[in-house]
């Protein structure tokens, strides 16, 4: 066993998640009264830091999309099949300690993809999501600007395939009356149709309604 201090107990606020890093594994500490939990510190959804979340009732809530984990156990309340790993932790005087060997053994089975060196590297989402297919390109542009793409941005040698062009279905027209504003519902309007040059006098008149 290799003991390592991760926090000063007297400085850990009750039910306020606190982050720690051991080897390359993010941890989250939750103090509840005189007890404590040390869990894997990354959300199982898209890897947000759980120390950026909050505690509500018995749950540690991810700050991004609200996934919830019981802070006693790390088990998700919403889906019990999901669980943040829970690591051994104990107090020695005012030191909150964990076993670095235990965490490194876990890390071997769960290699961590996070590179904390680049700008905002600790907050990157290594999984991506089909609902946000452009995030990796946006992140790359944020990191590198147009340095490697050129000032026109991404281009391909043979133009753009038809399937990638905007389609009429992608465009939504919101119709509106521009000449004058429509009347409100309660305003009486004539619904007569008058056909013929004589108007009421000489023509055919039909009433609606």
# residues contacting ligand FES (CB under 6 A) = 9
Strands 18-22 and 59-61: unpaired
* CB closer to ligand FES, 66 vs 203: 66
Q: How far apart are CA 68 and CA 43, in angstroms?
A: 9
Strands 95-99 and 3-8: antiparallel
Report the residue from 12, 64, 141, 149 that binds ligand FES according to the rule CB under 6 A: 64
Instruction: Report which DSSP code applies to 89.
Output: E
55: β partners: 60
Query: Interface with ligand FES includes 86 (CB under 6 A)?
Result: no
Query: Interface with ligand FES includes 17 (CB under 6 A)?
Result: no
Query: Interface with ligand FES includes 70 (CB under 6 A)?
Result: no
Query: Which range in 41-49, 92-100, 113-121, 160-168 contacts ligand FES by CB under 6 A?
Result: 41-49
Phi, psi of 207 (to 5 degrees): -110, 135
Query: Interface with ligand FES includes 48 (CB under 6 A)?
Result: yes
Query: Interface with ligand FES includes 67 (CB under 6 A)?
Result: yes
* CB closer to ligand FES, 101 vs 115: 115
Query: Interface with ligand FES includes 82 (CB under 6 A)?
Result: no
CB of 79 to ligand FES, least distance (A): 12
Positions of E strands within 51-104: 54-56, 59-61, 68-70, 86-87, 89-92, 95-99
Report the residue from 40, 46, 84, 114 that binds ligand FES according to the rule CB under 6 A: 46
Q: Kindly list the residues in this chain that would bind ligand FES in the complex (CB under 6 A).
A: 43, 45-46, 48, 62, 64-67
């Amino acid at each position: 066993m290799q003991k390592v201090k991760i926090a000063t107990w007297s400085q850990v606020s009750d039910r306020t998640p606190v982050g720690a890093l051991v080897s390359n594994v993010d941890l989250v500490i939750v103090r509840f009264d005189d007890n404590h939990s040390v869990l894997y510190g990354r959300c199982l959804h898209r890897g947000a830091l759980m120390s950026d979340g909050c505690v509500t009732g018995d749950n540690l809530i991810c700050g991004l999309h609200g996934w919830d984990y019981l802070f006693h156990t790390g088990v998700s309340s919403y889906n019990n099949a999901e669980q943040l790993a829970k690591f051994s932790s104990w107090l020695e005087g005012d030191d909150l300690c964990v076993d670095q060997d235990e965490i490194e053994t876990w890390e071997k089975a769960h290699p961590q993809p996070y590179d904390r060196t680049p700008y905002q590297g600790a907050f990157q989402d290594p999984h991506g999501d089909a609902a946000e297919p452009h995030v990796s390109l946006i992140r790359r542009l944020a990191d590198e600007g147009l340095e490697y793409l050129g000032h026109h941005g991404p281009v391909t040698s043979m133009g753009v395939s038809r399937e990638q062009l905007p389609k009429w279905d992608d465009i939504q027209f919101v119709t509106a009356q521009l000449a004058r504003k429509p009347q409100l519902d309660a305003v009486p309007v004539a619904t007569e149709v008058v056909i013929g040059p004589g108007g009421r006098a000489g023509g055919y008149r039909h009433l609606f309604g």
